[in-house]
């Protein structure tokens, strides 16, 4: 209750900020884009994790406003990058289903000047369990405009691989749980190779999440995974630090 009241206040008063975690090409190590991650520096509680406050926002419906702020802020930030990097924005289920979501995305692109090809929306597998016709139609409209769509935490949810060929998405974000076990479990290593083969067959790009060691990096690269994200490369950065990173690689 208290947390919701304070979060509502924070959304209204500019108490949240966005950080940006580099997504790199595993072969070259070069940054290709950034995942936008919401941060809530709370005056008394310290940094409150989105793992705590996103569910509170989802349950209460505040996610509509919070998500609108996240989209607005991340798209404007990316529009200020002259390097061509893309921004990948998390979208929660309830936010996606809110009336006018697709129009809002188009409006943010138009008003900021960010080319559609530099915006990726991260959805979850759970979204795809809803009204398939409606969701596929909305995803198709987004993609027809040039926006990319990725499935976040891939492999943890509805893990039937057979539905993937019907889902209009561009990228799979391979969940960190696979990355964590790839170095110690031959079965998991095989499974990851299988997922990468399947993604290739379906022309889906793969971003491996939560890469923390050189060994994980090497095994993923050898398995043919093109992109990755994780503390090995960089933690989520402030907007200023993200810009500094782009300049240093230019
Ligand atoms: O940044 P961190 O690892 O603490 O994020 C934890 C979780 O919170 C992740 O699952 C991430 O997808 C989610 N999250 C972070 N920022 C946002 C956001 O802006 N919107 C939504 N819907 N989820 C977010
Ligand atoms: O669910 P989602 O993929 O959106 O969550 C991304 C979260 O993972 C962010 O909160 C980010 O801070 C976290 N993260 C990113 N890289 C790493 C990593 O290498 N190790 C760990 N433990 N967390 C990471
Ligand atoms: Mn994500
Ligand atoms: Na994830």
pLDDT at 166: 84
Residue nearest to atom 19 of ligand 1 (CA): 38
**With a 6 A CB cut-off, is 17 part of the ligand 1 pocket?**
no
Centroid of ligand 3 to alpha carbon of 228 (angstroms): 12
For the chain, the average pLDDT equals 95
Residue spans per domain, the chain: 2-249
Closest ligand (CA of 122)? 3
Q: What is the mean pLDDT of residues 89-98?
A: 96
Best residue among 52, 63, 90 to mutate for probing ligand 1, ranked by most atoms within 8 Å of CB: 90
Domain spanning 2-249: CATH 3.90.1570.10: no
Please state the φ and ψ torsions of residue 22, each to the nearest 5 degrees.
-55, 140
Q: CA 239 to CA 79: how far, in whole Å?
A: 12
DSSP 213: S
Cα torsion angle, 112, 238, 100, 132, sign: positive
Say if residue 110 is exposed, middle or buried (CB neighbours under 10 Å; 0-12, 13-18, 19+): exposed
Residues 6+ apart with CB under 8 A from 232: 211, 212, 213, 214, 216, 217
Task: Give pLDDT tens digits for 51-71.
Answer: 999 999 999 999 999 999 999
pTM of the complete model: 0.97
pLDDT at 160: 63
Centroid of ligand 4 to alpha carbon of 48 (angstroms): 18
- Burial state string for 194-226 with b = 16 or more CB within 10 A and e = fewer than 16: ebbebbeeeebbbbbbbbeeeebbebbbebebb
**With a 6 A CB cut-off, is 90 part of the ligand 1 pocket?**
yes
Task: Give pLDDT tens digits for 31-52.
Answer: 999 999 999 999 999 999 999 9
Residue nearest to atom 12 of ligand 2 (CA): 236
Q: What is the mean pLDDT of residues 96-124?
A: 97
The H-or-E segment that residue 120 falls in is strand 119-124
**With a 6 A CB cut-off, is 54 part of the ligand 1 pocket?**
yes
pLDDT-derived band of residue 222, with 50, 70 and 90 as boundaries? very high
User: Is the per-residue pLDDT at 98 higher than 60?
Assistant: yes
Residue ranges of the alpha helices (H) in the chain?
2-13, 50-60, 63-79, 93-97, 101-112, 132-144, 176-181, 186-201, 214-222, 239-249
**With a 6 A CB cut-off, is 150 part of the ligand 1 pocket?**
no
Q: CA 181 to CA 164: how far, in whole Å?
A: 24
Q: What is the mean pLDDT of residues 69-91?
A: 97
More confident residue, 168 or 108: 108
* For the CA of 63, the nearest atom of ligand 1: 22
Q: Do 34 and 90 touch, CB atoms closer than 8 A?
A: no
pLDDT at 25: 98
Residue nearest to atom 14 of ligand 2 (CA): 210
Q: Is the ipTM of this complex over 0.90?
A: yes
Task: Give pLDDT tens digits for 160-216.
Answer: 667 788 889 999 999 999 999 999 999 999 999 999 999 999 999 999 999 999 999
Residue nearest to atom 10 of ligand 1 (CA): 51
pLDDT at 200: 95
Q: CA 184 to CA 187: how far, in whole Å?
A: 9
Q: Do 192 and 178 touch, CB atoms closer than 8 A?
A: yes
pLDDT at 159: 57
């Amino acid at each position: 209750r208290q947390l919701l009241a304070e979060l509502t206040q924070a959304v209204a008063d500019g108490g949240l900020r966005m950080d940006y975690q580099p997504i790199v090409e595993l072969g070259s190590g070069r940054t290709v884009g950034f995942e936008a991650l919401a941060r809530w520096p709370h005056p008394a509680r310290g940094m409150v994790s989105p793992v705590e406050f996103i569910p509170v926002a989802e349950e209460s419906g505040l996610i509509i406003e919070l998500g609108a702020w996240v989209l607005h802020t991340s798209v404007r930030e990316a529009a200020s990058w002259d390097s061509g990097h893309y921004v990948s924005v998390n979208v929660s289920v309830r936010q996606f289903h809110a009336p006018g979501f697709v129009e809002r995305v188009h409006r943010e692109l138009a008003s900021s000047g960010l080319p559609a090809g530099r915006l990726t929306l991260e959805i979850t597998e759970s979204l795809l369990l809803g009204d398939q016709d409606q969701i596929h139609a909305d995803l198709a409209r987004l993609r027809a405009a040039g926006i990319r769509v990725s499935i976040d935490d891939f492999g943890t949810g509805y893990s039937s691989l057979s539905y993937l060929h019907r889902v209009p998405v561009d990228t799979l974000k391979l969940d960190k749980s696979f990355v964590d076990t790839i170095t110690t479990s031959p079965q998991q290593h095989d499974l990851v190779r299988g997922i990468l083969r399947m993604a290739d067959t379906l022309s889906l790009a793969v971003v491996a999440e939560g890469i923390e060691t050189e060994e994980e990096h090497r095994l993923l690269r050898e398995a043919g995974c093109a992109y990755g994200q994780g503390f090995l490369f960089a933690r989520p950065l402030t907007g200023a630090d993200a810009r500094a990173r782009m300049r240093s690689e230019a």
